């Protein structure tokens, strides 16, 4: 049994921040929470503000290679996608694993204890399967384990380039031919991680563009039977809505609803361009709405109706998506800040709500049940933020400090399932992650 | 003569980033720039990406006490202002100086080498002048000097609560009675810093709300005669526009134009809610447009027409204003990101333009002429950013890295006028600034 003594800890929206909190851990679970408490002999002392582990619910890990590389011209989301595809084309299991490992290490130093990897880079060049058709998926899992994170591998069905258009170019690496082919492969993947407590295999539908309507239910049914997470990109760009309406006469939301995609295990990612009926349906289904604000800034997606979705019944979660930024504090803050920019009102979201979105809501959406914050029975994830940095000094040390003042650079300690992954702001097992990342990005970009 | 050897340096929009740059300094000026160059014996070696000093063109330094303290309720800009006034009410020259010193130290660690302090907290409680009527201004200058920054004290004329409304409550501390009273006091202030190379006394008009139309020209003429910077808040909130139209039949821009406020030494701050005619006039006058994007997020101001202003003829500068965030890298990035959120297009602003805005444009707007970047004759300000952090690794090390990947936490070294102010990410003369800030904020908030 480990005991952690926290100078301050955020115990959830009801209890807020308390001073002097002793957290006892048995196995990978929190066994006791006492406050006020003095540090006991042998306790691991965490100076600062301790919060639960962040769940990064939407990751395309290989996009990290594009940070700082796609900002030199003007253009659209679709022009950016061409640059992203050029990277996707060059990755092999080894370079993908190295890139993923260093990127997950960056996430760990930012307080992420579980990642949802929206994984569609399945096959080799020209779409030829590797000897193990899940070799790329295994590389993602191995990378997460090396970086000390839990992973939900959201294995993504991707079958078409658009409505009625077959995959082309690099997209052939994404496709399993049809949804039945996807099921066959994912069954093998699931079997490989049966019983693992640090890996969940979930399902994903890339988008209504990428999976024909008639095959949506095959993926949704697979997820339903297993009660596994099901993630989908939804209405990130106006063009997706227009194409879907033209092809099917329905919005992406309505099309997904009609084919059984939307339910309480479903996460809809972005959910930016929605009408009132879409919002009502998503709320009625009780979906998770996964916003990725720093990516939605970077890709010029716009600002989604976060409050309206939650008022309707959806549950907010967060992700760093393209990894233009990996900073869950900034991600929380950005939900509220971007809402202010378009509503011209302050305080749509309160700090406690955003903390809940980034931690327990997110962990639940990834299928890591029982991880509901710093409470008895919760998973033993602890993230410690400095309250004495240039950024956080004088800001009160409560949830507002975590959401509205701190950045990832303020995170000193990260414990995942009772293992110390980050100490003194350094990743313990991958101290050279940044150098490794630099090297692998160099290789990938040179290999044109 | 000092020689700095930079692993990489950004030499401006035309030359971009070069590897191996030797910068020779004589006095406070750059005397030579050579590239490619090897490090010479005795050179100060700066590993990473060196950029010119940032100019933080709009600061209300005491607002730093509010970071993380005003986010618990919903509301408007005007509700926030009540909380800000409660702090303004409690400050005295000593607490103001300590708060300012620690906040300027935070700026220095973020690469700021010159600050424009929009200073209106002139008098004592109930508006009674201190023995030296400029005691609070002197406190700001002393604080900047202790933190190693140059300062442009933008002494602010503030005479009314609104159109036709006298100052009330804490606003009495801001007022000199009339514009002639402001001139008398500012003349004394100017005399006190005659010949100083690190202090510029400039003028400010708080806003069209705070200076009656008939007195605008008195302040503008004073600035004109001295060719000093003149800063004004402009159209930050829709209510200001509505009130101005109702009272005068003109927009704030048109009213200021009519009274001689707008010229090439004028900085209009925020410039958020403008019509096409306003933009045309501001461009024709060649004003500086000082955007404060992280504050404009925080205060729910909205997103200003930055590109339209510059296309019309204005010059972009940046400020951290309320200091909800002090991070010039984020400030640069936010101009483009927030534009993307409302235009749904990428690439309105390029990294080189945003770097120019944050450095040479800003230094010029503050009256520090000759500070035009890393060129012969430029002021000897150097800011070094890590290119091997979790955030910046693999991002290419060019201007995109500075604008789209780095944060203030990546700044390792800051040289101001050839003096090493920050080394190894630590403020050399004020290593305990964060602790001091915590203490003084605690005192101020407790003194209710």
Answer whether A68 touches B (CB < 8 Å): yes
Answer whether B407 touches A (CB < 8 Å): yes
Answer whether A438 touches B (CB < 8 Å): yes
Assess whether pLDDT exceeds 70 at residue B167.
Answer: yes
* A274/A282 Cα distance (integer angstroms): 10
Q: How many CA atoms lie within 13 A of A7 on its CB side?
A: 14
CB atoms within 10 A of CB A439: 16
A240-298: pLDDT as tens digits: 999 999 999 999 999 999 999 999 999 999 999 999 999 999 999 999 999 999 999 99
* A400/A64 Cα distance (integer angstroms): 29
Q: Do B300 and A345 touch (CB under 8 A)?
A: yes
Task: Output the CA torsion B410→B416→B422→B427 (10° steps).
Answer: -120
Answer whether B81 touches A (CB < 8 Å): no
Question: Do B95 and B226 have their domain in common?
Answer: yes
Question: Do B389 and B346 have their domain in common?
Answer: no
**Span A149-166, mean pLDDT?**
97
Answer whether A240 touches B (CB < 8 Å): no
Nearest-CB residue to B302 (from A71, A341, A403): A341
CA-nearest residue to A438 within chain B is B394
CA-nearest residue to A402 within chain B is B68
B371-390: pLDDT as tens digits: 679 999 999 999 999 999 99
Q: Do A69 and B400 touch (CB under 8 A)?
A: yes
Q: What is the CATH number of the domain that holds A308?
A: 3.20.20.140
Answer whether A168 touches B (CB < 8 Å): no
Task: Report pLDDT for A6.
Answer: 98
Residues 6+ apart with CB under 8 A from A165: none
Q: Which residues of chain B have a CB within 8 Å of the CB of A349?
A: none
Answer whether B6 touches A (CB < 8 Å): no
- CB < 8 Å from A in window 86-125 of B: 102, 105-106, 109-110
* B116/B111 Cα distance (integer angstroms): 14
Q: Which residues of chain B have a CB within 8 Å of the CB of A394?
A: 64-65, 67-68, 434, 437-438, 440-442
Among B77-86, B91-100, B219-228, B257-266, the least confident range: B77-86
Distance from CA of B385 to the nearest CA of A (A): 14
Q: Do A341 and B297 touch (CB under 8 A)?
A: yes
Residues 6+ apart with CB under 8 A from B61: B99, B100, B103, B104, B115, B117, B140, B143, B323
A179-210: pLDDT as tens digits: 999 999 999 999 999 999 999 999 999 999 99
Task: Report pLDDT for B448.
Answer: 58
Question: Do B149 and B243 have their domain in common?
Answer: yes
Confidence of residue B240 (pLDDT cuts 50, 70, 90): very high
Question: Do B155 and B116 have their domain in common?
Answer: yes
Q: Which residues of A46-57 are buried (b: 16+ CB within 10 A; e: fewer)?
A: bebbbbbbbbbb
H or E element that contains B147: helix B135-147
Q: What is the CATH number of the domain that holds B411?
A: 2.30.40.10
Confidence of residue B73 (pLDDT cuts 50, 70, 90): confident
Judge contact between A437 and B395, C-beta under 8 A.
Answer: no
* B437/B445 Cα distance (integer angstroms): 12
Task: Report pLDDT for A401.
Answer: 98
* A46/A39 Cα distance (integer angstroms): 10
A432 located within any domain? no
DSSP B53-119: PEEEEEE-GGGGGGTTTS-SS-B-HHHHHHHHHHHHHH--HHHHHHHHHHHHHHHHHTTEEEEEEEE
- Per the annotation, the verdict on A323 as an active-site residue is no
Nearest-CB residue to B341 (from A110, A341, A401): A341
Q: Which residues of chain B have a CB within 8 Å of the CB of A337?
A: 297-298
**Span A387-402, mean pLDDT?**
97
A444 located within any domain? no
Task: Report pLDDT for A448.
Answer: 58
A384 located within any domain? yes
Question: Do B9 and B156 have their domain in common?
Answer: no
Q: Which residues of chain B have a CB within 8 Å of the CB of A343?
A: 300
Q: Any idea which residue has 């716009």 for tokens?
A: A302
DSSP B307-367: HHHHHHT-EEEE--BT-S---HHHHHHHHHHHHHHHH--B-SS-HHHHHHIIIIIHHHHTT
Distance from CA of A76 to the nearest CA of B (A): 6
Question: Do B137 and B257 have their domain in common?
Answer: yes
H-helix segments, A252-305: 252-258, 276-285, 293-298
B177-200: pLDDT as tens digits: 999 999 999 999 999 999 999 999
Task: Output the CA torsion B302→B306→B308→B311 (10° steps).
Answer: 170
Question: Do A423 and A313 have their domain in common?
Answer: no
Task: Report pLDDT for A166.
Answer: 96
Distance from CA of A165 to the nearest CA of B (A): 26
**Crossing angle between the packed helical segments B77-90 and B433-446, to the nearest 10 degrees:** 100
Task: State which of A312, A344, A365 marks the end of a domain.
Answer: A365
CA-nearest residue to A67 within chain B is B395
CA-nearest residue to A341 within chain B is B302
Assess whether pLDDT exceeds 90 at residue B272.
Answer: yes
CA-nearest residue to A350 within chain B is B72
Question: Do A289 and A209 have their domain in common?
Answer: yes
Assess whether pLDDT exceeds 80 at residue B278.
Answer: yes
**Span A336-345, mean pLDDT?**
97
Assess whether pLDDT exceeds 90 at residue B74.
Answer: no
A22-56: pLDDT as tens digits: 999 999 999 999 999 999 999 999 999 999 999 99
B249-262: pLDDT as tens digits: 999 999 999 999 99
In whole angstroms, how far apart are CA A193 and each of A29, A146, A188, A360, B432?
21, 16, 9, 23, 50
Q: What is the CA radius of gyration of chain A?
A: 21
Assess whether pLDDT exceeds 80 at residue B369.
Answer: no
* A218/A369 Cα distance (integer angstroms): 25
Assess whether pLDDT exceeds 90 at residue A411.
Answer: yes
Q: If you ran DSSP here, which 8-state letter would residue B150 be given? A: E
Task: Report pLDDT for A75.
Answer: 78
The structure tokens listed for B390 are 């979790």
* B144/B166 Cα distance (integer angstroms): 32
Confidence of residue A330 (pLDDT cuts 50, 70, 90): very high
> Which residue, among B8, B71, B334, would best test binding to A if mutated, counting the most A CBs under 10 Å from its CB?
B71
In whole angstroms, how far apart are CA A37 and each of A51, A78, B64?
17, 54, 32
H or E element that contains A23: strand A17-26
Parent domain of B21: 2-52+372-427
Distance from CA of B406 to the nearest CA of A (A): 9
Answer whether B10 touches A (CB < 8 Å): no
Q: Any idea which residue has 């880079």 for tokens?
A: A121
Q: Which residues of chain A have a CB within 8 Å of the CB of B437?
A: 393-394
DSSP B6-69: EEEEE--TTT-EEEEEEEEEETTEEEEEESS-PPPTTPEEEEEEEEPPEEEEEE-GGGGGGTTT
Q: Do A393 and B299 touch (CB under 8 A)?
A: no
Task: Report pLDDT for B441.
Answer: 96
Judge contact between A294 and A334, C-beta under 8 A.
Answer: yes
Q: Which residues of chain B have a CB within 8 Å of the CB of A109?
A: 390
* B448/B445 Cα distance (integer angstroms): 7
B353 located within any domain? yes
Assess whether pLDDT exceeds 70 at residue B357.
Answer: yes
Q: Do B347 and A75 touch (CB under 8 A)?
A: yes
Distance from CA of B408 to the nearest CA of A (A): 9
Residues 6+ apart with CB under 8 A from B88: B62, B121, B170, B173
* B125/B89 Cα distance (integer angstroms): 7
Answer whether B343 touches A (CB < 8 Å): yes
Q: What is the CA radius of gyration of chain B?
A: 21
Q: Which residues of chain A have a CB within 8 Å of the CB of B395?
A: 67-69
Q: How many helices (H) and strands (E) does chain A have?
A: 15, 18
Assess whether pLDDT exceeds 90 at residue B60.
Answer: yes
Judge contact between B271 and B235, C-beta under 8 A.
Answer: yes
Question: Do B377 and B338 have their domain in common?
Answer: no
Question: Do B85 and B125 have their domain in common?
Answer: yes
Q: Do A68 and B434 touch (CB under 8 A)?
A: no
Closest by CA to B34, choosing from B2, B6, B1, is: B6
As a whole number of angstroms, the longest Cα–Cα distance in chain B is 67
* Mean predicted lDDT score pLDDT of chain B: 96
Q: Which residues of chain B have a CB within 8 Å of the CB of A347?
A: 71-75
Question: Do A112 and A169 have their domain in common?
Answer: yes
Termini Cα distance of chain A = 52
Task: Report pLDDT for A72.
Answer: 77
Assess whether pLDDT exceeds 70 at residue A370.
Answer: no
Task: State which of B365, B389, B414 marks the end of a domain.
Answer: B365
A448 located within any domain? no
Burial class (CB in 10 A: 0-12, 13-18, 19+), A178: middle
Task: Tell me which of A60, A265, A270, A323 is the catalytic residue.
Answer: A270
Q: Which residues of chain A have a CB within 8 Å of the CB of B401?
A: 68
Assess whether pLDDT exceeds 90 at residue A372.
Answer: no
Question: Do B15 and B112 have their domain in common?
Answer: no
* Mean predicted lDDT score pLDDT of chain A: 96
- What's the structural domain count of chain A? 2
Q: Which residues of chain A have a CB within 8 Å of the CB of B435?
A: 388, 393
> Which residue, among A8, A111, A298, A390, would best test binding to B if mutated, counting the most B CBs under 10 Å from its CB?
A390
Confidence of residue B447 (pLDDT cuts 50, 70, 90): confident
A443 located within any domain? no
Q: How many CB pairs under 8 A join A and B?
A: 196
Task: Report pLDDT for A369.
Answer: 74
- Per the annotation, the verdict on B178 as an active-site residue is no
Distance from CA of B92 to the nearest CA of A (A): 18
């Amino acid at each position: 049994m480990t005991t952690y003594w926290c100078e301050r800890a955020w115990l959830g929206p009801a209890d807020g921040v308390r001073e002097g909190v002793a957290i006892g851990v048995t196995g990978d679970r929190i066994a006791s929470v006492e406050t006020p408490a003095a540090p006991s002999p042998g306790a691991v002392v965490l100076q600062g503000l301790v919060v639960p582990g962040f769940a990064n619910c939407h990751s395309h890990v290989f996009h990290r290679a594009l940070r700082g590389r796609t900002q030199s011209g003007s253009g659209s989301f679709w022009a950016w996608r061409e640059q992203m595809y050029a990277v996707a084309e060059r990755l092999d299991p080894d370079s993908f694993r190295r890139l993923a490992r260093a990127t997950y290490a960056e996430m760990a130093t930012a307080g992420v204890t579980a990642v949802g990897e929206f994984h569609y880079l399945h096959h080799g060049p020209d779409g030829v399967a590797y000897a193990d058709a899940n070799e790329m998926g295994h590389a993602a899992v191995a990378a997460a384990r090396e970086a000390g994170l839990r992973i939900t591998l959201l294995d993504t069905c991707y079958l078409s380039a658009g409505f009625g258009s077959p995959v082309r170019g690099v997209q052939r690496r994404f496709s399993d031919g049809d949804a039945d082919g996807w099921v066959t492969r994912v069954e093998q993947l699931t079997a490989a991680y049966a019983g693992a407590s640090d890996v969940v295999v979930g399902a994903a539908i890339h988008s209504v563009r990428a999976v024909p309507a008639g095959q949506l239910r095959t993926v949704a049914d697979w997820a339903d039977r297993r009660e596994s997470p099901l993630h989908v990109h939804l209405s990130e760009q106006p063009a997706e809505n227009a194409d879907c309406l033209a092809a099917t006469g329905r919005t992406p939301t309505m099309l997904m609803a009609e084919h059984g995609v939307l339910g309480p295990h479903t996460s809809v990612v972005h959910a930016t361009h929605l009408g009132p009926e879409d919002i009502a349906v998503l709320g009625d289904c009780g979906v998770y709405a996964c916003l990725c604000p720093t990516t939605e800034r970077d890709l010029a997606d716009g600002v989604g109706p976060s409050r309206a979705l939650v008022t309707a019944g959806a549950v907010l979660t967060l992700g760093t998506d393209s990894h233009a930024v990996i900073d869950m504090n900034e991600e929380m803050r950005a939900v509220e800040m971007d809402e202010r920019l378009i509503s011209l009102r302050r305080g749509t979201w309160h700090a406690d709500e955003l903390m809940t979105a980034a931690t327990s809501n997110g962990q639940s959406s990834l299928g890591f049940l029982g991880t509901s914050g710093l409470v008895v029975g919760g998973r033993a994830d602890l993230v410690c933020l400095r309250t004495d940095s240039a950024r956080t000094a004088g800001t009160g040390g409560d949830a507002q400090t975590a959401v509205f003042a701190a950045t990832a650079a303020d995170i000193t300690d990260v414990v995942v399932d009772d293992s110390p992954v980050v100490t003194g702001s350094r990743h313990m097992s991958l101290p050279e992650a940044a150098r490794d990342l630099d090297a692998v990005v160099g290789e990938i970009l040179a290999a044109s």
